[in-house]
């Protein structure tokens, strides 16, 4: 990374960026969530991996969306933690502030393998003394994280208890790998400041009042992580997550969708609604991010989903 005088400056790694975020972010909830990040060694994976851990009680795993980070749960996390939930919020493999080894598998397979190892690490931490099984793990996935959650629930039916999907992306359709050259161009396009600003504004229901410098800062901070562009390029070459909804996993499942979602196109939404049926609840005054636009309602729906029927 070059400084203004043309000299080379050291590029901060993910751990340094999150350490700065815990003190320097404009958003106080973002600072608090960054401060809750632990760096875990994970079996078979190089380096240490960020997982925000907070609260006590039922363990719940939260999965962020495409080209995002664990910081997107900054408004939902304190509400769930206060309601008796222990949260584990990792960055997805190749995204956020994770290490990005040169030999990493930046595809859905790599993302899911990393999460299987994370789930095993959570089980080791949450299994009580004298218990033969860890408690079931709740799962909340936002946007692309919704498709990741569905795939993970099918892979680990004995570990995942309940799922809440927030404007899930990738449940229908088919993978569309970007060819060489276009993948790199797409990544460079996503890095442009005016593109980041536009995407951030599009994700909110009322961007004129809800999107300021604090939101834009969080939406772009992870782009400074070493290897961001290359990992994203390779993920785009893989085709990403698509067509993940069938068959739906057997666990209890609820879905929240914003009535003002402008990220997912109407055909995508219609196809997902046809697949999900009456599991979907639409929220007014809500865009593509129910956990940011409507965090209290999102937390209430999770608690309701987690309440056994009378």
Tell me, yes or no, whether 80 lies in a domain.
Answer: yes
Q: What is the pTM of this model?
A: 0.94
- Digit-by-digit pLDDT tens for the chain (310 residues) are 333 334 444 668 999 999 999 999 999 999 999 999 999 999 999 999 999 999 999 999 999 999 999 999 999 999 999 999 999 999 999 999 999 999 999 999 999 999 999 999 999 998 877 677 888 999 999 999 999 999 999 999 999 999 999 999 999 998 888 888 888 899 999 999 999 999 999 999 999 999 999 999 999 999 999 999 999 999 999 999 999 999 999 999 999 999 999 998 888 888 988 999 999 999 999 999 999 999 999 999 999 987 655 4
For residue 112, give the CATH number of its domain: 3.40.50.1820
pLDDT (0 to 100) of residue 25: 98
pLDDT (0 to 100) of residue 8: 42
Tell me, yes or no, whether 257 lies in a domain.
Answer: yes
Domain residues for the domain of 25 are: 14-305
Tell me, yes or no, whether 310 lies in a domain.
Answer: no
pLDDT (0 to 100) of residue 6: 40
Query: Which whole-number Å values give the CA distances from 219 to 65, 95, 154, 198, 290, in the listed order?
Result: 11, 12, 30, 11, 16
What's the domain count of the chain?
Answer: 1
Tell me, yes or no, whether 4 lies in a domain.
Answer: no
pLDDT (0 to 100) of residue 1: 36
Close Cβ partners of 41 (under 8 Å, ≥ 6 residues apart):
48, 49
pLDDT (0 to 100) of residue 10: 61
């Amino acid at each position: 990374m070059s400084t203004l005088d043309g000299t080379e400056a050291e590029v901060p790694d993910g751990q340094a960026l999150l350490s700065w975020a815990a003190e320097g972010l404009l958003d106080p909830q973002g600072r608090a969530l960054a401060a809750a990040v632990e760096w875990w060694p994970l079996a078979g994976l190089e380096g240490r991996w960020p997982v925000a851990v907070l609260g006590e009680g039922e363990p719940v795993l939260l999965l962020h969306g495409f080209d995002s980070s664990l910081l997107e749960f900054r408004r939902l996390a304190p509400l769930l933690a206060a309601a008796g939930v222990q949260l584990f919020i990792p960055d997805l493999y190749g995204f956020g502030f994770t290490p990005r080894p040169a030999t990493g598998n930046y595809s859905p397979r790599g993302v899911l393998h990393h999460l299987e190892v994370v789930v095993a690490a959570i089980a080791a931490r949450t299994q009580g003394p004298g218990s033969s099984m860890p408690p079931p793990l709740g799962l909340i996935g936002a946007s692309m994280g919704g498709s990741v959650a569905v795939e993970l629930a099918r892979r680990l039916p004995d570990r995942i208890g309940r799922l809440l999907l927030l404007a899930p992306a990738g449940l229908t359709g088919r993978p569309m790998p970007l060819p060489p050259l276009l993948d790199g161009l797409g990544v460079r396009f996503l890095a442009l400041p005016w593109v980041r600003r536009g995407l951030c504004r599009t994700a909110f229901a009322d961007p004129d009042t809800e999107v300021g410098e604090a939101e834009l800062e969080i939406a772009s901070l992870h782009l400074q992580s070493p290897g961001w562009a290359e990992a994203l390029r390779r993920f785009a070459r893989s085709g990403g997550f698509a067509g993940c909804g069938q068959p739906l996993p057997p666990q209890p499942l609820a879905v929240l969708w914003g009535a003002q979602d402008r990220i997912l196109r109407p055909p995508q939404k219609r196809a997902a609604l046809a697949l999900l049926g009456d599991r979907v609840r639409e929220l007014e005054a809500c865009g593509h991010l129910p956990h940011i636009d409507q965090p209290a309602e999102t937390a209430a729906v999770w608690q309701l989903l987690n309440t056994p029927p009378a």
